[in-house]
Structure 1
Amino acid sequence: MPQPRVVAVSRDDQHRFSKVPVDSITLVTGHGVEGDAHAGAFVKHRSRVKRDPHQPNLRQVHLLHSELFNEARDHGYELGPGDLGENVLTEGVDLLGLPTGTMLDLGGPVVRLTGLRNPCVQINRFRPGLIRVVLAKADGTPATRPAPSTGSTRPSAPVIRKAGVMAVVVSGGEVAPGGSITVTLPAEPHTPLAPV
């Protein structure tokens, strides 16, 4: 696996699905990406704001592994930095396999992983059928929508969410493409990432 690094960074001051690639982003402690619509101490994602605007924002920074783009290409989808709404595109880090609370040093700034991004219908609006790439069942069968978090009693293969991870900013600073990434795991026992 290549040396862990930042491939690209993106932000957008509007609530759109994709973000705009930029030369660098500035992370602000406890706030998120400066100038990004999803930055703030409290939730900024529209569906969560409707439920309770006073929830803490566990989705200040969206990180995505660039290896997903290769998988998408195998299915006929060409994706580029910012297309899936990520702030930080990484390489050489198994983001989905890291536990909750993992610290990622992005070349100075540090983020703490809070959970998985739960793919939503907007992915299919962006590219019809793309949700089959970012959402699958552990038994290998395709999943066309996220599994409900509660209520279902039917046995089912677990859903694998591959649309990246969410984090909060622990230590701010500038993040730019090419920066190294250092992973620090939390104390055991580890808790797997879950949708936030």
Structure 2
Amino acid sequence: MSQSPPAGQIVAVARDDGHRFSKPTRTSITLVAGYGVEGDAHAGATVKHRSRVQRDAAAPNLRQVHLLHSELFDEMAARGHGIAPGAMGENITTVGIDLLGLSRGTRLALGDDAVVEVTGLRNPCSQINGLSKGLMKELVYVDDQGDTVRLAGIMSIVVAGGEVRPGDGIRVIPPAAHVPLQAV
């Protein structure tokens, strides 16, 4: 059986061993199954984000890998917010895939070996305003129907490890049924 062609591409990869908001971009990152990005402060089987550790340190880490669509950069630039890969703390910056429209449980095959499973939407905190004043209200807002809209990317867990780098293709493997993304 042949594989479907890539639907999108990796633009940049980033990791940071400290709990800082932005992450420096790298030439490659290594994803580890059930763990996350090797060498990243948010990697682990249980929660690593500080606010979540305070609530329940034993909770499963549904935020091992953060993916963000580069198309958001142009949209935010038009609104006066300059954003570059890694600046919003994402591990993988993509192009060509509607990340926010994916279903929970969608798998993304990254490069030759790595696979992540989408767990939900990123729910950013007000630290994002330190990147650009007023950015938070652009990325999280209530629409005309009263629904909260979150634009700050998606979160995932690693189901198959491997090295990923800019230029690698991304294949989308949808689940059997579509389940809209919620904040995780």
Normalization by structure 1: what TM-score? 0.88
2:25 paired residue number: 21
Q: Distance in 2 between matches of 1:40 and 1:73?
A: 33
2: distance between equivalents of 1:127 and 1:77? Answer: 6
The structural deviation recorded for 1:16 is 0.5
Mark the runs of 5 or more structure 1 residues left unpaired by the alignment: 140-155
Which of 132, 136, 154 pairs up with 1:127? Answer: 132
Q: Which runs of 4+ in 1 moved over 6 A?
A: none
SS in 2 for 1:181: strand
CA distance in 2, matches of 1:138, 1:100: 22
- Aligned counterpart, 2:119: 114
1:31-88 CA distances to partner (integer Å, 9 max, x unpaired)?
0000000000000000000011000000000000000000110011111110000000
Partner residue in 2 for 1:194: 182
In structure 2, stretches of 5+ residues that fail to align are 1-5
Q: What percent of counterpart residues are identical?
A: 59
Who is 2:99 aligned against? Answer: 95
Counterpart CA distance in 1 for 2:122 and 2:7 is 24
| Contact kept in structure 1, 2:7 and 2:171, CA below 8 Å | no
Structure 1 position 63 matched with structure 2 position 72: no
What are the superposed Cα offsets for residues 5-47 of structure 1, whole Å, 9 maximum, x if unpaired? 0000000000000001000000000000000000000000000
8 Å CA contact 1:115–1:194 kept in 2: the answer is yes
Name which of 31, 35, 43 aligns with 1:31.
Answer: 35
Query: What is the alpha-carbon distance in structure 1 between the residues aligned to residue 125 and residue 50 of structure 2?
Result: 13
Distance 1:7 1:133 in 2: 23
TM norm structure 2? 0.94
What amino acid maps onto 2:101 in structure 1? G
* C-alpha contact (below 8 Å) 2:129/2:135 kept by paired residues: yes
RMSD across aligned C-alpha pairs, in angstroms? 1.2
Give the structure 2 partner of residue 165 of structure 1: 154
Which range moved further: 130-139 or 26-35? 130-139
Give the number of equivalent residue pairs: 178
**Partner AA of 1:191 in structure 2:** V
Residue identity opposite 1:193 in structure 2: L
